[in-house]
Amino acid sequence: MANVYNVLLALFPIVMAITLHEVAHGWVALKLGDPTAKHLGRLTANPIKHIDPIGTVVMPIVMLLVTGFAFGYAKPVPVDVRNFKHPQKDMALVALAGPFSNLVMAIFWMFILMLSYKYMPKSGISEAAQYIANVGVIINILLMVVNLLPILPLDGGRVVAGVLPFKWAVVYSRFERLGLLLVILLLFTGYLDKILTPMVQIVQKYLFGLFGLG
């Protein structure tokens, strides 16, 4: 069980990961012709604009306190596909932007972790920095892997819908309402952990090796 101090330290990288994931969706949507997120003030790193009280605050804190592991989500950035020149393909690119942002943030936190190990003298400050960076690496890898699962409404599901022939994409999209139930079912049966853990470990091992921390 994580203590309150660790929870407070972990909140920064967790909220950052969730927030910038959504900003990335909105930013790519804007570049592809949809200004909806911009008009609603969602292209900002201010987490208040993206916070979902349950998914961004309560859920990560409770999971950290109970399991020592955190996960969460933010309010989805609104996207109007009617503004895209190529709705199906462009929506897939918007979906990919979220997991890609988490990969970039995982690399950023790995860089911070490397600096703290190699150049900071051992102290309470360096230990706090290493803890925050570790959480940042893990939460971003986890968010990336989870969101790449080919299940609607996750980003991976949006990508699949974007690359399928249109008539099959329409059929596939009809199962979106069942997607969240499927994720919950996989979570409570333990299968989600069996799917995610090896994938997270592979990415984590690669990044640690890349930065000479393996």
Cα–Cα distance between 46 and 18 in angstroms, integer? 11
pLDDT for the residue 2: 58
- Whether residue 173 contacts residue 161, with contact meaning beta carbons closer than 8 Å, is answered with yes
Domains held by the chain: number: 1
101, two tokens = 């942002």
From 19, 7, 2, select the one nearest 143 (Cα to Cα).
19
pLDDT for the residue 181: 86
103, two tokens = 């990969």
Cα 126 to the center of its chain, rounded Å: 26
pLDDT for the residue 110: 97
Give the CA radius of gyration of the chain.
18
pLDDT for the residue 166: 92
Q: Which domain holds residue 53?
A: 4-211
Q: Which residues contact 211 (CB under 8 A, 6 or more apart)?
A: 110, 111, 113, 114
From 121, 6, 17, 115, select the one nearest 73 (Cα to Cα).
17
DSSP secondary-structure letter at 77?
P
pLDDT for the residue 66: 65
Instruction: Specify the residue for token string 């911009």.
Output: 38
- Whether residue 105 contacts residue 45, with contact meaning beta carbons closer than 8 Å, is answered with no
- Whether residue 204 contacts residue 137, with contact meaning beta carbons closer than 8 Å, is answered with yes
- Which residues participate in catalysis according to the annotation? 22
pLDDT for the residue 47: 85
The identity of residue 9, as a single letter, is L
Each residue's pLDDT, cut to its tens digit, for the chain (214 residues) gives: 457 788 889 889 988 999 999 999 999 999 999 999 999 999 999 888 887 877 777 777 776 666 556 666 778 899 999 999 999 999 999 999 999 999 999 999 999 999 999 988 888 888 999 999 999 999 999 999 999 999 998 999 999 999 999 999 999 999 888 988 898 788 788 888 899 999 999 999 999 999 998 7
pLDDT for the residue 120: 86
pLDDT for the residue 63: 67
Q: Which residues contact 181 (CB under 8 A, 6 or more apart)?
A: none
